[in-house]
Amino acid sequence: MIELTLLDYGVGNIHSLAKAFEAAGARVVVEADPRRAVAARALLLPGVGAFGKVAEMIAPVRAELRERLAGGLPAFCVCIGMQILHETSEEAAGDGLALLPGRVRRLGHRRLPHIGWNTVDHRGTGPFEGVPAGAHFYFVHSFAPSPCTEAVVATCDYGGRFAAASAEKNVWAVQFHPEKSSDAGRRVIGNFVRFAEGAA
């Protein structure tokens, strides 16, 4: 059984995400100290929070965490967890991990935040292996990365295209909330648990 360390940003409910990964066969350990999280065998960056606060929290371990991710640490990143992989964000000041290039930008839709179900266009590989084409996922966000980087494996349209998921070798990231996305979300979570078991 793979042990996943969930980094608790201290803002919001992480219970449902932990339970979803446990239901997929993982053991989840919640850790509020980013220094201890860096030493994890596999990492979960949850999806509740704001870019500036998360950037501030990880600042003391930013270089070390980036090095571990670049070196092969399996990680699954949700919503703000996906955004913090990038360089900066329009939402707030602060440096992301810069593991993925670019700046996170405000969505172009007149109605924000983007809350609810939306279809995701994906390649059927990596996180989306076994997920039907046109599957719906649940979103809660106002900012998102650009869909123009090589790591992007899925996109969504809400006032313009944005990156709905990226997979950079050992680091999988999704802008939606898989723990709230029914069967399709459970499949994505299960895919990562199996991947992490083989990689850790």
- Report, as residue numbers or ranges, the catalytic residues: 79, 177, 179
Q: Could you give the CA distance from residue 58 to residue 160 in angstroms, rounded to a whole number? A: 30
Q: Which residue, among 132, 138, 178, 151, has the nearest Cα to 20 in the 3D structure? A: 178
The identity of residue 137, as a single letter, is F
Structure tokens at 198: 């083989």
> For residue 39, which amino acid is it?
A
Instruction: Please tell me the distance from the alpha carbon of residue 2 to that of residue 66, in angstroms, as a whole number.
Output: 21
Q: Of 56, 48, 37, nearest to 10 (Cα)?
A: 48
Cα 155 from Cα 159, distance rounded (Å) = 12
